[in-house]
Structure 1
Amino acid sequence: MELDDTFAAQASNILQIGKELIGQAEVFLATLLRPWNFYQILIAIGLLALAHILRAVLAPRLHAWMRTREGWPRWRMRYLVVVHKRLRAIFFVVLIWTVVLIMREVTWPSRSYLLGIVANLATAWLIVAFGTRLIANPILRSVVRYGAWVWITLRILGLTEESENLLDTIALHIGDMRISMLLVLQALLSLGVLIFVARLVNRTATARIEGNDEISPSMRVLMVKVMQITLYGIAFFVAMRAVGVDLTGLAVLSGAIGVGLGFGLQKVVSNLVSGVIILLDKSIKPGDVISLGETFGWINSLGARYVSITTRDGKEYLIPNEDLITGQVVNWSHSNDFVRLDIFFGTAYGNNPHDVRRIAIAAAASVQRVLPDKPPVCHIVGFGDSSVDYILRFWIRDPTGGLTNIRGNVYLALWDAFAENGIDIPFPQREVRLLGNERGLTE
């Protein structure tokens, strides 16, 4: 019974406010029928048509000029694109303010009153359109843009108080909390503006952090992630407090949800914690060359849940952070970029081992990526059944360029050098004898 009375009271208030708005709208429409007001409407329509003609003439020329600006920064080209799209509105604002200023000088202010309202509306809408272009998220940009347009329109027309009363009448009670449509719209608008500010600050700070060579790559990633979470969290809580939302119940609810998520999303939480550990201990960082099991490649990016690894064949593997913490990872460039590679080969017993070692070292040193300041070495490692076995060791400092290809190039250099100097590479040979008496063979 009490709930029915509440809804009845809300419906009565909505009808009363609606009647007031309709009455004001009727008065406003009646004023439009006056001669000078009607002339002002015709002037505004004519100026809009003139702005459309100017855009049709000048827009192609501006577009052709923009195509010649290839060396300009990206952000400047984006603003030029926005200007190109809003040329009609820009021309209309310039034209209508020119007409309003002239009419205020040569005639009574009342005869340019409607034109002044239209000029203020057009200018405010244009400013909002340019300002919201800085918001990257399309959904958030649309919410902020249309919300600002509606609020500015009501403000200029003097309907703010009635509209606020109407929106505040539409409310829902949850316990002691009252959530009205006005509160929801204010929260969305405040959140959109604060997220825009947080994104702008985050973008500026991220550029400074990533441009600081004194900070390690892993610490840059960690600082950027922590800053993003902090800024967006502050934006959310400030927006909620600004519109009067009590966050005490939200804290209790979030604690209960956190406990449930801790049990249900153990792997996700484990990966998140492992990601933070990786960033703190600097065991791997973007650009490092690592191998994990059968996966060999360089780290493309460090994420909150996984690490992106790009292999030589162009495949991108997303390795969970937990695997990098609990598994054995070979980081080829952890402390430095130097990598030593080993090649095994064998030569015939008839070749002088001293000559073989000298020729092998010279062949490896002739390959382009082999480091001359860490010269190759060659050692005998054993006497095999059909060959003298050697190991050839050499250093490179660019593992991102690949390991298999440099081994192949060294093998080719050895082949050419051995062929040129008469070094034989033996291969196993087997002789098969059939034993038996002469009678058994003939049978």
Structure 2
Amino acid sequence: MQQSLSEGQAFAESLLRPWVAYQVLIILGVFVAAHLLRRWIGPPVRTWMASRENWPKWRMRVLVVIHQRLRAIIFVLLIWAVVLAMREFTWPSRSYLLSLVATLASAWLLVAFATRLIRSVFLRRMVRYGAWVYVTLYVLGIVDETAELLDAAAINIGFMHLSLPLVVQGFVILGCLLAAARFITVSTSARIQSNEDISPSMRVLIVKVVQVVFYAIAFFVGVRALGIDLTGLAVLSGAIGVGIGFGLQKVVSNLVSGVIILLDKSIKPGDVISLGETFGWIQTLGARYASVVTRDGKEYLIPNEDLITGQVVNWSHTNNFVRLDIYFGTSYGCDPHQVRKLSIAAAQGVERVLSSRPPVCHIVGFGDSSVDYILRFWITDPTGGLTNIRGNVYLALWDAFKEHNISIPFPQREVRLLGEDQPLDMSDASSKSPG
């Protein structure tokens, strides 16, 4: 402690030397010059960036980061140029403070660029500030002294020794490991998703396993960096796990059901399913639920357990062929052979109806006022909607029947109004008279 105070006093006294004051003024001048250059160069650079419309996103993100740190970049370049000039024309001792500031500025700039890889704002700031503090102490050569000073306020919990440097170090390491785990999982996921040789369900399963493994490794290594002994928590975590297991039965059931769905490949992203009143296609398969998007834009989060235990209609399980049926009737005066031919030809003229599996039309009954038919046709894109293709086929039938004078009957009723002053039927009156 006394040594640290004496070193601090010596450093303060060194600031009063003339050449140290000159170096401080030079640093301030370089900062002002960097600020002015940033204001002069910044707008043209931003305009040039806005004109790069066809560039990849990653390149534009790099340019945005560079533009945000343009003042620091200019300052680092100018300060190092001044340091090199001072070393060339004067003694090294007269550029010591400049070299120190240049080294610190360069290190801070590298830390700022490196931490931009961390997506989480909280983790990014935590790692950035922790790294800035450590780099500053390291460049100044007072890491050990600072650690000894802060270690005096350490807390002992059983066999665990917690000090502020250890906690900061652990959180920085944990943040870096989580960022690295996320970077690895995102890169791996992109490669797996682009591999057409792997089925969609297996891609999701592999991505989930990779995420769990890397995040678990990052968490345990980060916790160990904090000095926490995980073996002592084994019994406690087991007891807590049993209690949580009873309270989270549904959650665990959904997790297990999600793994089963991914393994048996019964449902995969992109499939068109019907579950009760819900009809849509699966957008994503999560660990707890499946996201199903309907034609009207609603997104249903269906628990995985319901997909296992409920009756699910998968319209595209083994293939994308879907058969649709529509019913109609014509009058008894129309030739049924002509009606069948016209119906098939009208359905074949609709855009999404398959010609490789031609439509068929059959008589299904003789109704009270019409001959009833069923028209069956196939499509391969159920995600494009079912109601709209049925409507298009109905419209094609209407046009074809109207062109060939095929009538579609409808119930007709005749209503007669009886007046109150009608003569009484004498036969009925005589039958009701007594005797």
TM interval, shorter chain, is over 0.9
Report the Cα distance in structure 1 between the residues aligned to 2:362 and 2:239, rounded to whole angstroms: 66
Question: How far has the Cα of 1:317 moved from its partner?
Answer: 1.1
TM-superposed deviation, 1:43: 0.5
The answer to whether 1:440 aligns with 2:388 is: no
Deviation of residue 173 (structure 1)? 2.3
2:39 is equivalent to residue 53 of structure 1 = no
Contact map agreement 2:166 2:226 (CA 8 A) in 1: yes
Q: Decide which of 385, 390, 402 is 2:385's aligned counterpart.
A: 402
Match of 1:359 among 325, 337, 342: 342
> Contact between 2:258 and 2:289, CA under 8 Å: does it hold in 1?
yes
Local SS of the residue matching 1:341: strand
Which residue of structure 2 aligns with residue 11 of structure 1? none
What CA distance in whole angstroms lies between the structure 1 residues aligned with 2:187 and 2:17?
Answer: 53
1:135-174 paired onto structure 2 within 5 Å: 135-174=118-157
Tell me the equivalent position of 2:271: 288
1:179-194 pair list within 5 angstroms: 179-194=162-177
Matching of residue 335 in structure 1 with residue 312 in structure 2? no
Q: 2:261 aligns to what SS in structure 1?
A: helix
Equivalent residue number for residue 432 of structure 2: none
Greater shift in the superposed pair: 417-426 or 169-178: 169-178
SS at 1:308 equivalent: strand
Match of 1:202? 185
Give the match for residue 289 of structure 2: 306
Asked if the contact 2:130–2:169 (Cα under 8 Å) also holds between the matched residues in 1, the reply is no
Q: CA deviation at 1:397?
A: 0.6
Equivalent in the alignment of 2:115 = 132
Alignment of 1:239-318 (within 5 A): 239-318=222-301
Aligned residues: 425
Code of the aligned partner of 1:216: S
Displacement after TM superposition at 1:172 (Å):
2.0
Q: Does 1:212 align with 2:190?
A: no
- Aligned partner letter, 1:99: V
What is the Cα deviation at residue 254 of structure 1? 2.3
Partner of 1:213, secondary structure, is coil
> Using the alignment, how far apart are the partners of 1:432 and 1:40 within structure 2?
109
2:83 is aligned to 100
Partner of 2:404: 421
**Superposed displacement of residue 180, structure 1:** 2.1
TM-score in terms of structure 2 length: 0.94
Offset, 1:431: 5.7
Comparing 69-78 and 171-180, the one that deviates more? 171-180
Q: Distance in 2 between matches of 1:315 and 1:269?
A: 26
Answer with 136-145 or 344-353: which moved more.
344-353
CA-based RMSD: 1.9
Query: Letter of the aligned partner of 1:406 in structure 2?
Result: I
Q: Deviations 1:295-348 (Å, cap 9, x if unpaired)?
A: 111111111111111111111111111111111111111111110000111111
Q: Distance in 2 between matches of 1:178 and 1:76?
A: 45
- Secondary structure of 1:38's match? helix
Structure 1's 356 and 158: CA in aligned 2 closer, same or farther, altered over 3 A? same
TM-score, normalised relative to structure 1: 0.92
Q: Distance in 2 between matches of 1:400 and 1:187?
A: 49
Q: State the percentage of identical aligned residues.
A: 68
Stretch moving more, 99-108 or 132-141? 99-108
| 1:64 equivalent in structure 2 | 47
Separation (CA, whole Å) in 2 of partners of 1:331 and 1:428: 38
User: Which amino acid counterpart does residue 372 of structure 1 have in structure 2?
Assistant: S
Q: What are the Cα deviations for residues 333-392 of structure 1, in whole angstroms up to 9, with x where unaligned?
A: 111111000011111112111111111111111111111111000011111122111110
CA deviation after TM superposition for structure 1 residue 196, in Å: 2.0
Q: Could you say which residue in structure 2 is the equivalent of 1:78?
A: 61
Asked if structure 1 preserves the Cα contact closer than 8 Å seen for 2:161 and 2:227, the reply is no
Distance (whole Å) between structure 2 residues aligned to residue 227 and residue 139 of structure 1: 24
**Map of 2:356 onto structure 1:** 373
Unpaired segments ≥5 residues, structure 1: 1-16
Aligned partners of 1:46, 1:238: CA distance in 2, in Å? 45
| Whole-angstrom CA distance in 1 between matches of 2:402 and 2:286 | 51
1:375 match: secondary structure:
coil
User: Which moved further from structure 2: 162-171 or 388-397?
Assistant: 162-171
How far the C-alpha of 1:73 sits from its partner, in A, is 1.0
- Give how far 1:259 is off: 1.2
Quick one: which amino acid aligns to residue 183 of structure 2? L
SS of 2:116's partner is: helix
Q: Which residue is 1:344 aligned to? A: 327
What does the per-residue CA deviation read over 1:20-70, in whole Å, with 9 as the maximum and x for residues that have no partner? Answer: 444332221110010011101001110111111111110111101101111
Distance in 2, matches of 1:54 and 1:21, equals 39
